[in-house]
Amino acid sequence: MRELIFATNNKHKLEEVRQLLEGKATIVSLAQAGLEGEIPETADTLQGNALQKAQWVWERTGKDCFADDTGLEVNALDGAPGVYSARYAGEHCTFDDNVNKLLDAMEGKTNRKAAFRTVICLIEGGEPRYFEGKVEGCILTERYGKGGFGYDPVFMPDRFAVSFAEMPLEVKNQISHRGLAVSQLVQYLANSK
């Protein structure tokens, strides 16, 4: 099976994406590829960050690899936190800090529409290619559920009555931003053999 290095230090994402690509590609973690250090993420778009992270791996290994970048885009906050979702509450903040800041910013807002958007950049033979996935939903007024990570406890996808954090991972993966972006990647990999 073909090997692809996934440029992430996030164990949850690694697990999610491994499950999504099971039987289609072997996902090699940064540690397995012998890579250490902070991956730069300084672009001001999701696409720019995904490219920057994948390029970091490509430059060090010359092996096919991909990276993803995700943002939570909240309508009532003019698309914030968006590309800054990881550092919304400050440089070294936790997922909890970010959720607290979001709940504060959304206090009293009636328009609670939001979307998660993921862009994946695959570098194959040095050439970048992009895949995108988006899921629409709304921001809840408090946390629900213990699963997932990040903003999962306060995001409820459209057509569901539970938060991402209340869903089994298999269900989240079928409808999530990253799940949809990875499906595009899978389709591409299946057709390009």
Residues that bind ligand IMP (CB under 6 A): 10, 68-70, 72, 85-86, 95, 98, 148-152, 164, 176, 178
Cβ of residue 57: shortest distance to ligand IMP, in angstroms? 15
Q: Which residue is nearest to ligand IMP (CB)?
A: 150
Cβ of residue 8: shortest distance to ligand IMP, in angstroms? 7
Q: Using only the alpha carbons of the chain, give its radius of gyration.
A: 16
Cβ of residue 36: shortest distance to ligand IMP, in angstroms? 18
Cβ of residue 115: shortest distance to ligand IMP, in angstroms? 12
Output 10 or 183, the one with its CB closest to ligand IMP: 10
Output 24 or 143, the one with its CB closest to ligand IMP: 143
DSSP one-letter string for 1-62: --EEEE----HHHHHHHHHHTTTT-EEEPTTTTT--SPPP---SSHHHHHHHHHHHHHHHH-
Helix 11-20, helix 177-191: angle, nearest 10: 50
Output 143 or 192, the one with its CB closest to ligand IMP: 143
If we measure between CA atoms, which residue out of 9, 4, 13, 5 comes closest to residue 116? 13
Output 49 or 108, the one with its CB closest to ligand IMP: 49
In which element (H, E) is residue 120 found?
Answer: strand 113-124
Tokens read off for 149:
């990570």
If we measure between CA atoms, which residue out of 10, 7, 49, 11 comes closest to residue 28? 7
Catalytic residue status for 44: no
Contact 11, 27 (CB under 8 A): no
The one catalytic residue in 44, 69, 78, 152 is 69
Residues with catalytic roles? 69
